[in-house]
Amino acid sequence: MTVTSTRQHRGKVAFHAGIAAENRIAQDYERRGFSIARRRWRGKGGEIDLVIRDGAGLIFVEVKQSRDFARAAQSLSARQMQRIFQSAEEYLAQEPNGSLTDVRFDVALVDGTGATQIIENAFGHG
């Protein structure tokens, strides 16, 4: 394999691992009675992995997958959180209550074995 094809292969593996992690987290929320409003919603500011309905409210979920939970958690940067906030504001513009919609921001971690950990209200707009 050439360097380019090795990188492309790693990229494809990472992409599919990310999709699998998002599916696993979506199933977890669904098992707990929530419904998935959108997967990989893309706004001008960036992408939100999962948008979950919680009654009249919404949960914006960032899914992070890595070898272990600590590495996954560390991969969420302040800049990325800001992009998530901007995208969430754009998403809320289409909701009946707009920016008055009750929201929270969760981070869902998936480790190398497929184990999951969901941190509710992991960060807020500040």
**Over the chain, what is the mean pLDDT?**
90
Q: Which two tokens stand for residue 41?
A: 């919603």
pTM for this structure?
A: 0.87
Least confident among 3-7, 53-57, 90-94, 115-119: 3-7
Pairing of strands 35-42, 47-54: antiparallel
With 90 as the cut, is the pLDDT of residue 59 above it? yes
Q: What domains sit in the chain, N to C, each tagged with a CATH number? A: 3-119 (3.40.1350.10)
What average pLDDT does the segment 10-24 reach? 80
What average pLDDT does the segment 51-75 reach? 93
Cβ(57)–Cβ(104) below 8 Å? yes
Residues comprising the chain, all counted: 126
pLDDT reported for residue 125: 62
- Dmax (CA) for the chain in angstroms is 53
Cβ(50)–Cβ(39) below 8 Å? yes
C-alpha 4, offset from chain centre: 28
